[in-house]
Amino acid sequence: MAAVLAANPFADEPPNRVMAIFLAGAPPANTLDHVSGRTDERIVLGRREIYVYYAGGMADSRLKIAAAVAGTARNMNTVAKLAAMATASC
């Protein structure tokens, strides 16, 4: 979790508007080719995650990322809390 938080390409944006979509493996190289409904969202591929910044918020977003169907998403506030919990338990 700490590595995902550290690699966040949108660290300067509000953490509640940045999602990390966790995948079982690396996102396919053509992930960005299979995105639909994109308006003001920004997307960056990570090692085993997809980072999405929802500039206008998630509520009205129609963004669909085919590669994310098998993943699970958490915002950066949650990722930070999970990283802190993992560190505290060590």
- Structural domain of residue 26, as residue ranges? 2-88
- Asked if the model's pLDDT at residue 90 lies above 70, the reply is no
- Give the pLDDT of residue 57: 94
Q: 32 and 43 in contact (C-beta within 8 Å)?
A: yes
**Greater model confidence, 37 or 70:** 37
List pLDDT tens digits, range 32-46: 999 999 999 999 999
pTM of the model: 0.94
* Confidence grade of residue 13 (pLDDT, cut at 50, 70, 90): very high
* Residue 35: Cβ within 10 Å count: 17
Question: Per the structure, how many domains does the chain have?
Answer: 1
- Give the pLDDT of residue 8: 98
DSSP letters spanning 12-39: TS-GGGEEEEE-SSPPPTTGGGGEES-S
Pick from 90, 84, 14, 88: nearest CA to 55 = 14
Mean pLDDT of 61-80: 96
- Give the pLDDT of residue 89: 74
